[in-house]
Amino acid sequence: MSTYQQLHITPETLLRAYRLGLFPMGESARDPTIYWVDPEKRGVIPLANFHVPRSVKKILRRKPFSISVDQNFYGVLQACANKTLDRPNTWINSEIIELYMELYESGNAHSVECWSDGELIGGLYGVTIGAAFFGESMCSVAPDSSKVALVHLVERLRLGGFRLLDTQFVTDHLRRFGAVEISREDYLRLLTAALSREANFYSFDIVEGNGSIVTEGTLAEAAGE
């Protein structure tokens, strides 16, 4: 895996890096240094082969959460940056937070939020360019909330005409949903194709006709229930 250090970057530089196949990571939450990462193996979830595990389908049938989009981007970003028992260290530093807030304000970054009784209890965020969604991080304050957010994200990307869901790396958790590792060369081919097309992150809301708030009933249908 290749890494390249840069002490200060702009949102425009960040978008150019994504187009080249790079993504940023901080050394730690307390260190403002940002590194460009260019792994030999890249994680992606093929949208056509997305798999919803049986246990997640059961969660969707219970309808435990409400879902919103781009309603609390900062809250999701901060929750992803927070330390937890399972994640004592985090790579999301103050520079990362500032950069992605600027991308959100310009319409290039989006969040999916899970709510329960008016409280934000999980979600995910990432960056969109063309027909590519670059997933950055997920968080679960309540169990399973990030899984529900991922199911919603994939259905939204499918309806919006997206061609690439980049997960950066592959974890055992993401493998359950169909994530695979591909070579840098294969990834760049997929990336080039996705960047040459247009997609609409909000087509889901138009199709559903219910604004940016949806329920797990909708997600259960997407999961084939």
- Domains, the chain, in order of start with CATH, read 41-222 (3.40.630.70)
CA distances to 32, 61, 157, 183 from 220, rounded to whole Å, are 41, 6, 16, 33
Structure tokens at 223: 């999961």
pLDDT tens, residue order, the chain (225 aa) = 555 555 568 999 999 999 999 999 876 656 677 889 999 999 999 999 999 999 999 999 888 889 999 999 999 999 999 876 565 567 788 889 999 999 999 999 999 999 999 999 999 999 999 999 999 999 998 889 999 999 999 999 999 999 999 999 999 999 999 999 999 999 999 999 999 999 999 998 876 554 444 444 444 444 454
The answer to whether the beta carbons of residues 62 and 192 sit under 8 Å apart is no
In the sheet that holds 31-38, the strands lie side by side as: 2-6, 31-38, 23-28
Please give the Cα distance from 123 to 135 (Å, whole number).
12
Structure tokens at 84: 């937890």
